[in-house]
A and B are shown apart, each in its own frame.
Chain A
Amino acid sequence: MIEAIQVQGLTKVFTTTKDRPPLRAVDGIDFTVHEGEVFGFLGPNGAGKTSTIRMLTGFSQPTAGTARLLGLDLDKELPRIKKRIGVVPEASNLYDELTAFDNLVFAMQLYGVPRAERKARAESLLERFRLSEKRDAPFAKLSRGMKRALTIAAALAHRPPLVFLDEPTTGLDVMSARNLRQMIATLRDEGVTVFLTTHYLEEAERLCDRVAIIVKGRIVALDTVAGLRSGAKRKTSVEMTLEGADGQSEKKRLECDDGVESAVQRLLSENNGRRVLAVDTLRPSLEDVFVQLTGLNAEVMLSEKSGKGGGNAGG
């Protein structure tokens, strides 16, 4: 089976000024993205996520290393690769002056979609992304969520089997972010490989089959979400909500060293006679793994993004 992306020793070094040392933005990373999976690429600002995407999409030259996309050599077969990938950059960057429909048609013209197919394909994408009513509205007049949706639609206009999504939900309101996540999940169902960078750990947890965590240009972890969780130092724990003496509820938490059932038994025996209001099992989250590996608080990572407000993964 051909892998969607195979990267070996990929490196990007920026030389800025003579008196400053070269910056190794990406430092010899290796990874493989399987066909049809949603692959999460997580890391704080400046970790090397965007530099990696820019190299893989042909926007900038790697300093060292090799990459194959859809079985094609990035160095030798870039034009063929470009025809088969879709890229959604962090900023919604369609043309303000063109309508939603015309933006999609232009995307298809650039990628050589046959003239006979363009109109129907554009209408179908508008419908799928719930933008049919805005068909003739200029891009500039769309809401932020609609702009984002249309930018993703434009990246899919030529039916690429591999799509790069750079922070797709950053800065969106909760509903728009939720809609976009549903669309990303649909892409996977259709067999499209998705390379997703995000600051939202819950988003990665919800959408991604596998996740790589990159810090200071190096991949420090790569596994399924479940696999990463199992490596967390924090264990699964049981949280019991009990009725307090003054009518207020009180939470007690215990790590499950000998399984969930024994932890529940222990909490019950320690709080004998008190009314139990709720029992929850708390599994280590991707956030725990991230904090453990990077030493960064997830909230700090979010605060680095200007549009942190709406795009939380609560949808």
Chain B
Amino acid sequence: MLTPDTLKQTLETEFGPSGLTVDIPLPHRVYLDIPREHLRAAAARLIGLGARYMVGFGADNIERDGTLPLIHTFAFDRDGILAALRTSAPVDNPVFDSITPDIPNAGWTERECADLLGMTFKGHPKPKRLILADDWPEGIYPLRKEVPHNLVPPAAEDVAYQLDEAPPGTTVVPVGPFHASLHEPAHFAVYVDGETIKGCDYRGFMTHRGIEKLCQTQVSYNEVPFVAERICGICGSVHAAAYAQAVEEAAGLKISRRAEFIRTILLEIERLHSHLLWLGVAGHLIGFDTLFMQAWRIRERIMWLSERITGNRKTYGMIVIGGVRRDITPEIAKELRETLETVEKEVLEVKAAVLKDTSIHKRTKGVGFLTEEQTRRWSLIGPVARARGVDIDARRDHPYAAYDAVEFAVPVMDSGDVWGTVVVRILEVFESVKIIRQALDTMPNDGPLLTEFSEFLPPLRHGMSTVEAPRGESVHYVITGEENRPERWKVRAPTYANLQGVPDMLLNNQFADFPIILGSIDPCFSCTDRVVVIDMKKKSRTILDQGGLEKLARRPRSRRR
């Protein structure tokens, strides 16, 4: 068992002479500062000590001391510690040793830092553009403070992403940017030999809109949660909660227990409808539309319930810094219990049907296989990791909100394939139901829903938080700023980590399994891209007004004619 203090001791003995300093501001947070020459060695040592790589990011500190900081975050899941490894380089020579050769999941982080801040990583195996458009001019680094948030450089013609070279003897099948199995734009070039996948290159981030930049320059602390919620179309509360927790941690703000319980309930409601949504989509991807329709029919009740609680089916606007905005009244709690009852019963039926269906076994068992070792090496998370024998869950390992007060199991499978992710997700539905019931039973009435934080939040404080989203853990890191808004706000959605492991899952599988393998990570490209898409036009074009549409949707099927 590793404690922050033993971790400090170990690292100080080994890296103290190299200039490492350790700060433990909170019981479960460790901040390490190291000169950049020793970054790679220190990162590798953290992994050696049992850490899992989460994400890294850069920032702009040019005005203060002429440096570009680089921060890598790690999680010690067994020991409940989150660690940040911080370093920096002068802006005129922003060169770091790449840690990607040791930690493959850092590959995107480093490419992102190169794109957005102009850092260079020595020894990176694939130093290609990741985020910036292919026609974005060289030398403009959008996350630097000198670049305005609304800069639109002129578009260039005939610039295209250069795909990786196809392995010999293979042909390229383009999946995307628009393809029926992708629900958002992303481009996979799949190299196939016959129907067997021999490799794949990914070009995504096509809808990157720079939410981080926007929130660092335009809006205030208290407005960010509403933007954060729009990062993802499914796990809105996850991002709002993760951001709020990170700021609360940086500010040392303690919120009421009741607010924490309500956050927990909201997060679990999201998990319920997300998992049912996924189950349906997975059915569709293997050509089983009946599962699709039935799963979504069950899910619909949860959406109605969400609307009762928050006023919205999605994007609840409930979680803010300091707590939540609405209470769960006894009447709503009663409805919630009733809905849970129905949903649980119906999902039990679906579970029996799915787990016994041999055709589903045929399409999912052994498909997208990764060993536990590969999964750990790629730092994969969420159901994707749990299906491969990696027993991690941020709710249990790094408890937040009220998860320390409820009991639940973390389903883990060791089949290592898509089948495992199906089982894990179905079982998690029942755990979510259990958590919500316990939360309703034990929710205290101890204080204000919203704890105001009025005093000035000093700049350059760091806070990080993880929230277990339905598709894996979301990581938020906040560095407080001077103008009532974060100086740097980093969001790592779960797909960012899991998508990097997909090429290994695809290798030597059949092309027909591409959709379900990609689908098995429950990809959310827009979270990864960090986008807001608000289609105002569509609304005004709809012939039915909102009320009419709602009525139509709500009327029982038999009377809809």
A, B: real partners:
no
Which of B's residues lie within 8 Å of A, judged by CB?
none
